[in-house]
């Protein structure tokens, strides 16, 4: 039995983040799938917020994906997934915060809101966030290398990628793909898709389209 147990849900992008880190580091773990619509009794003893992911490590428990991922990076330091340089580490945390407070809420609003005006506002917001990532993130930090901080993959890559794996569902239901002008974003996404740790737990566009059907109604196509 592994020391690490992760409480996860296959459709949850936050849990996806932590499973990617576990895969990348080659950490042995037990996967416990949680039905978020029918949570098992006692689940809040592991995850006080009643959310996934949460992990137990021996007698310890940790919840919230960004916190779990930093914990795993400290406890299992190889390969390191945060820069050692203080300013680079600060930049990584800024980008993790950007994902959590800007990109993800706009993505979620666009997918889930039934209000057309809110969808249009979310599209404009998402476009601005992608533009910021393209120019201020990948354009300045990555150079010609595949990952956010260059040649070495980091927690930042794994923080963002689950939403990009699900982008096909956003395009299907809301008609918003990744615009062609964001070439660095597209290159980055392709590089992540080819990563063995990503491939090991990847799902198809069709998988997400089917599972997000309950969150979104397709936009009618104009005649």
Q: Which entry of 4, 9, 12, 104 is annotated as an active-site residue?
A: 12
Backbone angles phi, psi at 150, to 5 degrees: 105, -130
Residues 124 and 134: beta-carbon distance below 8 Å: no
Query: What DSSP element (H or E) covers 208?
Result: helix 205-211
- Which residues contact residue 104 at a Cβ distance below 8 angstroms, ignoring those fewer than 6 apart? 13, 163
12 is catalytic: yes
Burial class (CB in 10 A: 0-12, 13-18, 19+), 68: buried
Both structure tokens of 86: 């203080």
Dig out the tokens for 144 from the structure: 């010609």
Q: Are 207 and 169 in contact (CB under 8 A)?
A: no
In degrees, rounded to 5, the angle at the alpha carbon of residue 94 between the alpha carbons of residues 48 and 73 is 60
Tokens 């198809």 -> residue: 204
Residues annotated as catalytic are 12
């Amino acid at each position: 039995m592994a020391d690490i147990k992760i409480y996860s849900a296959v459709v949850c992008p936050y849990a996806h983040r932590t499973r990617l880190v576990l895969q990348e580091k080659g950490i042995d773990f037990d996967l416990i799938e949680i039905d978020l619509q029918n949570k098992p009794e006692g689940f809040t003893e592991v995850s006080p917020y009643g959310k996934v992911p949460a992990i137990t490590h021996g007698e310890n428990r940790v919840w919230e994906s960004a916190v779990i991922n930093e914990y795993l990076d400290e406890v299992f330091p190889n390969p390191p997934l945060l820069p050692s340089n203080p300013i680079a580490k600060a930049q990584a945390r800024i980008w993790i915060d950007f994902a959590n407070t800007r990109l993800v809420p706009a993505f979620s609003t666009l997918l889930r809101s039934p209000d057309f005006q809110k969808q249009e506002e979310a599209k404009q917001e998402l476009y601005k966030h992608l533009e910021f990532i393209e120019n201020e993130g990948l354009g300045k930090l990555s150079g010609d290398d595949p990952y956010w901080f260059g040649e070495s993959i980091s927690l930042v890559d794994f923080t963002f990628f689950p939403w990009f794996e699900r982008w096909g569902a956003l395009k299907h239901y809301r008609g918003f793909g990744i615009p062609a002008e964001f070439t660095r974003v597209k290159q980055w996404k392709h590089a992540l898709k080819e990563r063995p740790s990503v491939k090991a737990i990847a799902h198809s566009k069709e998988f997400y389209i089917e599972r997000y059907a309950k969150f979104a109604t397709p936009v009618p196509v104009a005649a």
